[in-house]
């Protein structure tokens, strides 16, 4: 899909217990702006789920979306894209939002009931649908950093959204790979991959009616996991109610398996979906990529774009598949 090669270092093959790192544990010791009664410590909320009808920016919410207090990009202004000699520049326009997944400081996403995880997915969808109307944005990325080592600066469980004025490079690589495959075969490369993985089953971790969780053939990181809708869907936000239910259930299951097998690791996940002007297409297939933080990216990776992965995906899939949760 992307032309990326990885080195599966089988001679230094690592089992889950071989990875030395700190477990992610909630300490709850410092002041938390994401807890009840601290609503004034975040910028005013963009959206919240308030089943009790409580007023904005007060307790009573079950999920809350606020602007990032230290945004990477600013929402106001024009792009002003221009050249400077052979270089290009533009203003840092975008949206940077935080999805506070629960008021409960002690919960992790894996530990939340599936119905609450489904609410988190609806919040992603609601924000994507709203931001897509802003024509300045070309791409909306949802991601989550869990644990210090994965870049989370606050331990209270949350996800983030960044709306970007350009399609980012990583996504572009996948899009272009998928487009060229489609141009040649008139089939979606992800759909073909899903079919092949379901036939061979060596890298399949779990599946339900709508979704497949799989260790990809060329994973950059040990225990990297992808979750994909089994039938072709180019845009995350077009999912139906029953699909969000099934996605919540398989996502919870995968996060619990990762916690069990790898002993509460830090992790990142990202949602890759189609760019906003072209959400309905036959070649791109939205998916989750989950990356437990077990190895360090060092000079070789930076210099080449190759990744060295000490755990073959077939072994990772087997450990995760056989975990009892
Ligand atoms: Zn908190
Ligand atoms: Zn597809
Ligand atoms: Zn992707």
Ligand 1 mean position, distance from CA 28 (Å):
7
Residues annotated as catalytic are: 158
Q: Give residues with Cβ within 8 angstroms of 314, minimum separation 6.
A: 202, 203, 215
**Residues ≥6 apart with Cβ < 8 Å to 154:** 32, 33, 34
Q: What is the mean pLDDT of residues 71-100?
A: 94
Strand partners, 83: 88
> Which pLDDT band holds residue 94 (cuts at 50, 70, 90)?
very high
Residue 267 CB burial class (10 angstroms; 0-12, 13-18, ≥19): buried
Ligand nearest to C-alpha 232: 2
Cα–Cα distance, 138 to 166 (Å, whole number): 5
Decide the pairing of beta strands 6-8 and 307-309.
parallel
* Tokens at 232, concatenated: 């072709």
pLDDT at 1: 87
Q: How far is the CA of 280 from the centre of ligand 3 (A)?
A: 17
In three-state secondary structure terms, 89 is strand
Distance CA 46, CA 99 (A): 10
Measured in angstroms, how far is the CA atom of residue 273 from the centroid of ligand 3?
8
Closest CA to 49 of 114, 97, 103, 104: 103
Cα of 217 from ligand 3 centre, angstroms? 13
Residue 291, pLDDT > 80, answer yes
pLDDT per position as a tens digit, 240-259:
999 999 999 999 999 999 99
Q: Which ligand is nearest to the CA of 35?
A: 1
Looking only at the bridges linking them, the beta strands covering 287-292 and 267-272 are antiparallel
Give the model confidence (pLDDT) of 133-152 as tens digits: 999 999 999 999 999 999 99
Nearest to 275 by CA among 195, 191, 175, 178: 175
Mean pLDDT over 270-278 rounds to 94
Position 21 confidence tier, pLDDT thresholds 50, 70, 90: confident
What pLDDT does residue 240 have? 96
What is the band of 11 on the pLDDT scale with cuts at 50, 70, 90? confident
The two structure tokens encoding residue 189:
């490369």
Please tell me the distance between residue 290's alpha carbon and the centre of ligand 3 in angstroms: 10
Residue 12 has a pLDDT of 73
DSSP string of 190-207, one letter each residue: HHHHHHHHHHH-TTEEEE
Relative to the alpha carbon of 154, which ligand is closest? 1
What is the arithmetic mean of pLDDT over 7-18?
86
277: pLDDT strictly greater than 90: no
Crossing angle of helices 241-262 and 313-322, in 10° steps, is 100
What pLDDT is recorded for position 235?
Answer: 97
């Amino acid at each position: 899909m992307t032309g990326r090669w990885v080195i599966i270092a089988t001679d230094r093959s690592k089992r889950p217990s071989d990875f030395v790192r700190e477990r992610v544990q909630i300490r709850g010791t410092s002041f938390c702006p994401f807890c009840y009664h601290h609503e004034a410590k975040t910028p005013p909320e963009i959206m919240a789920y308030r089943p009790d009808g409580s007023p904005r920016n007060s307790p009573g919410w079950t999920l809350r979306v606020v602007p990032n207090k230290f945004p990477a990009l600013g929402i106001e202004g024009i792009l002003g894209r221009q050249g400077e000699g052979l270089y290009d520049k533009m203003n840092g326009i975008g949206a940077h939002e935080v999805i506070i997944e629960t008021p409960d400081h002690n919960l992790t996403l894996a530990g939340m009931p599936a119905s609450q995880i489904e609410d988190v997915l609806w919040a992603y969808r609601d924000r994507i649908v709203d931001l897509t109307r802003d024509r300045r944005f070309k791409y909306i990325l949802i991601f989550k950093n869990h644990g210090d080592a994965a870049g989370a600066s606050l331990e209270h469980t949350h996800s983030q959204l960044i709306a970007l004025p350009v399609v980012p490079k990583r996504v572009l690589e996948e899009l272009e790979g998928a487009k060229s495959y489609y141009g040649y075969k008139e089939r979606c490369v992800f759909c073909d991959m899903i079919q092949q993985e379901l036939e061979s089953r060596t890298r399949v971790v779990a599946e339900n009616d709508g979704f497949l969780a799989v260790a990809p053939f060329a994973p950059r990181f040990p225990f990297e996991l992808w979750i994909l809708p089994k039938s072709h869907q180019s845009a995350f936000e077009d999912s139906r109610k029953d699909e969000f239910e099934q996605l919540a259930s398989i996502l919870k299951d995968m996060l619990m398996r990762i916690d069990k097998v790898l002993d509460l690791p830090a992790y990142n996940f990202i949602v890759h979906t189609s760019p906003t002007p072209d959400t309905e297409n036959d070649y791109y297939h939205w998916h989750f990529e989950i990356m437990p933080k077990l190895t360090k990216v060092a000079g070789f990776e930076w210099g080449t774009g190759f990744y060295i992965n000490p755990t073959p995906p077939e072994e990772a899939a087997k450990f995760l598949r056989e975990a009892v949760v």
